Amino acid sequence: MATDSSALAICSGSAAGCWEASADRAAFRFRNAHGGHGPPCSRPVLTCDTPVRKGAGVTPDLPPPSDADVVVLGAGAAGLMCAITAGGRGRRVLVLDHANKVGKKILMSGGGRCNFTNTGTTPENFLSANPHFCKSALARYTPADFIAMVERHRIAWHEKELGQLFCNDSSKQIVRMLLEEAAAVGADVRTHCSIDAIERPDEGRFRLHTRLGTIECESLVVATGGLSIPSMGATGFGYELARKFGHALLPTRAGLVPLTLSGKHLDRLQDLSGVAFEVEARCNGASFRNSLLLTHRGVSGPAILQISSFWQPGDELRLDLLPGHDLPGWLGAQQRDRPAAELRTVLGDVLPRRFAQRLCEAWLPSRPMRQYTPTQLRQVADLLGAWPLVASGTEGYRTAEVTLGGVDTAGLSSSTMMSRHVPGLYFIGEVVDVTGWLGGYNFQWAWASGHAAGLVA
């Protein structure tokens, strides 16, 4: 793994300042990406499934560019889309990434099949201090635009549920597609490239001191993503850079992340790890109906990942354990039809049996249905419909899919993603305080914000 921002040594905090990191000892090797796929490319790029060997040295016939119109920091979803768009306008684009291969999060996404967009994307599917900020970019690059690119590359896809589109085969196809598109417009994509320092010696140009040497550019696009999965190359680089150039940052925290339980709450459920069922999770006015999965540390599954983005320690979190049921009516019917059946047996018919059993041991006294008074039956219904889940925390960035918060959108143009403080500086993708729900929305934001910046950078 290349260097990360923990080694930063800041030497100036002004918008025209300089920003430093320790040098990365890794080197470069490139190979031509075409291999018969897609349009011909005139420049070498990396293939997604062929990691470059560390320490192999810079390929001799590839002198490091000293100048580019646009430098994009981060060869992830947003950075590559920005490079494709800017390159398509005839801009000379250089994409730099410190990792050993591009698009690592794309590769690991969607269980290896990349949930690359959501056909139902609306601004309401995003969390941000300014819920209007994402509207312009999302309107100008839609799921249909990305699907058109996917189809041009003959990548087979399917809808899983709720508008979520996945590759039939592999996420690698999406990375390969982006690299082919980037190559077709002449964008130069480099990995193993850490950034040691960034200066803005005069208005209008940036000077980057990198492992490739010193590079000057007119436009600098920051697409370094969020903090989740540090083992995949995530760093706080983009946040630090934003701060140094005078941008406000909103507090960051892990989103789309499993929740942890502790004490008696964990003791009661831990041995049920692996049990899954449908719930409706509710917190702070948000609700999501989907699967819950009990884990050895707490709870996960789509319903929990979704609601985790709305939850903070101390917040009340409730689960409807039988969503879609008219609980008082259903329990009343069970009492009438099965008076001798115990509550745990009745619940075991609609919930996983072991969970129903545990529920009745720890939260609901189980006895024959006929013995419940109307008031008690109402209390059972109330508990089943709004079961309190006492989470102690989240699994954190180690397993989170996204980072909430980040670069405050107040400092950015919503149509171009350009900094309001530093002309020519752009922030796109997850580093910005725009975070999507689970289900392909985060990639759609990456494509859309990358496209918006690429149109002007």
Ligand X SMILES: Cc1cc2nc3c(=O)[nH]c(=O)nc-3n(C[C@H](O)[C@H](O)[C@H](O)COP(=O)(O)OP(=O)(O)OC[C@H]3O[C@@H](n4cnc5c(N)ncnc54)[C@H](O)[C@@H]3O)c2cc1C
Report the interface residues with ligand X, using CB under 6 A. 5, 73-79, 96-99, 104-105, 108-110, 114-115, 194-195, 223-225, 228-229, 233, 235, 237, 401-402, 429-430, 440-443, 446
Tell me the C-alpha distance between 30 and 45, whole Å. 6
CB of 197 to ligand X, least distance (A): 12
CB of 175 to ligand X, least distance (A): 10
Strand residue runs (E) in 272-389 = 276-283, 286-294, 298-300, 318-320, 387-388
CB of 78 to ligand X, least distance (A): 3
Cβ–Cβ < 8 Å for 431, 407: yes
Q: Which is closer to ligand X, CB of 347 or CB of 402? A: 402
Spatial CA neighbour of 71 closest among 446, 447, 422, 425: 425
When computed from its CA atoms, the radius of gyration of the chain, rounded to whole angstroms, is: 25
Instruction: Collect all residues with Cβ–Cβ distance below 8 Å to 271 and sequence separation of at least 6.
Output: none
CB of 324 to ligand X, least distance (A): 26
Q: Which is closer to ligand X, CB of 104 or CB of 282? A: 104
CB of 320 to ligand X, least distance (A): 26
DSSP string, 378-424: HHHHHHHHSEEP---EE-GGGT-SEEEEEE-GGGB-TTT-BBSSSTT
CB of 95 to ligand X, least distance (A): 9
Q: Which is closer to ligand X, CB of 237 or CB of 355? A: 237
Name 293's bridge partners: 276, 300
CB of 184 to ligand X, least distance (A): 20
Q: Which is closer to ligand X, CB of 306 or CB of 442? A: 442
Q: Which is closer to ligand X, CB of 96 or CB of 250? A: 96
Name 254's bridge partners: 403
Cβ–Cβ < 8 Å for 123, 135: yes
Q: Which is closer to ligand X, CB of 343 or CB of 417? A: 417
Cβ–Cβ < 8 Å for 134, 191: no
Q: Which is closer to ligand X, CB of 115 or CB of 252? A: 115
Tell me the C-alpha distance between 126 and 309, whole Å. 10
Tell me the C-alpha distance between 401 and 437, whole Å. 10
Residue number, nearest CB to ligand X: 76
Cβ–Cβ < 8 Å for 191, 101: yes
CB of 25 to ligand X, least distance (A): 14
Q: Which is closer to ligand X, CB of 109 or CB of 409? A: 109
Torsion of CA 84, 227, 299, 124, to 10 degrees: -50
Count, residues in the chain: 457
How many Cβ atoms are within 10 Å of 249's Cβ, its own excluded?
A: 18
Q: Which is closer to ligand X, CB of 104 or CB of 265? A: 104
CB of 26 to ligand X, least distance (A): 11
